[in-house]
Chain A
Amino acid sequence: MTTTVHTPVAKDTDAAAGGLRRAAGGLVTGWSLIRAFTVLVYLFMFLPVAVVVLLAFNASQFGSFPMEGFSFRWFVALWNNEAIVRAFKTSLLLGALTALVSTTLGVLASLALVRYDFRGKSLITTSLIAPILVPEVVLAVALLLFLRALDMPKSFPLLLLGHVIFTLPFVVLIVQARLVAVRREYEEAAMSLGANAFHTFREVTLPLIMPAVFAGIIFAFTISFDDITGTLFWKPGGVETVPTQIFAMLRNSISPEINALGAVMVGVTVAVPLAGAAIARRMAAALK
Chain B
Amino acid sequence: MASSDAEAPGLRPWILMAPALGAVTLLLAVPLCFIAVYSFWLRTAVGSEQVGFHLDNWIEVLTDPFYRDILLQTLRIAALSTLCCILLGYVPAYFIARSKTRHKALLILLLMLPFWISYIIRTMSWINILGVSGALNAFLLWLGVIGEPLQILYNEGTVILGLVHFLLPFMILNIYVSLDGIDPNLVDAARSLGSTAWQAFREITLPLSLPGLAAGSLLCFVLGAGTYITPLVLGGPTDAMFANLVFEAIITQIDWPLGSALSLALLVVLGAVVMLYTRYAGIGQLAKSFR
Which positions in A face B, CB cutoff 8 Å?
Answer: 23, 26-27, 30, 34-35, 37-38, 41-42, 44-49, 51-52, 55, 62-66, 104-106, 108-109, 111-113, 115-118, 124, 126-131, 133-139, 141-146, 148-149, 161-162, 164-165, 168, 170, 172-174, 177, 197, 222, 225-226, 228-229, 232-233, 242-243, 246-247, 250, 254, 258-259, 262, 265-266, 269-270, 272-273
Contacts and interface: CB of A to CB of B under 8 A. Distances in A.
Contact of A64 (B13, B138, B168, B291): B138
B118 A269 contact: yes
B128 A229 contact: no
Interface string B251-291: 10000100110011011001100100000000100010011
A23 B200 CA distance: 13
Interface residues of B, number: 85
B95 A135 contact: no
B208 to A, nearest CB: 18
B67 interface: no
B81 to A, nearest CB: 14
A173 B19 contact: no
Contact of A138 (B91, B112, B263, B287): B263
Contacts of B115: 222
B47 to A, nearest CB: 13
Given A127-B24, A130-B28, A173-B290, A64 B229 contact: no
A42 B89 CA distance: 10
Given A38-B92, A137-B228, A165-B23, A265 B118 contact: yes
Given A34-B95, A37-B92, A266-B117, A116 B13 contact: yes
B121 interface: yes
A45 B168 contact: yes
B197 A144 contact: no
B16 A109 contact: yes
Nearest to A227: B119
22 contacts: A23-B196, A38-B91, A38-B92, A44-B88, A44-B168, A45-B110, A55-B128, A108-B20, A116-B13, A133-B274, A137-B246, A141-B246, A145-B31, A149-B34, A161-B27, A226-B116, A226-B119, A232-B247, A232-B251, A243-B119, A269-B116, A269-B117
Contact of B117 (A134, A135, A174, A270): A270
A35 to B, nearest CB: 6
Interface stretch (B58-66, B129-137, B182-190): B129-137
| A interface SS class | helix
B154 interface: no
Contact of B38 (A23, A143, A145): A145
Interface in B90-109: 91-92, 94-96, 107
Contacts of A270: 113, 116-117
B128 A259 contact: yes
B113 A137 contact: no
Nearest to A127: B24
B68 interface: no
Contacts of A228: 119-120, 229
B95 to A, nearest CB: 4
Contacts of B16: 108-109, 111-112, 116
A131 B127 CA distance: 32
A177 B229 contact: no
B118 A243 contact: yes
Q: Which 4 A-B pairs have the closest CB atoms?
A: A135-B226, A142-B31, A48-B125, A64-B133
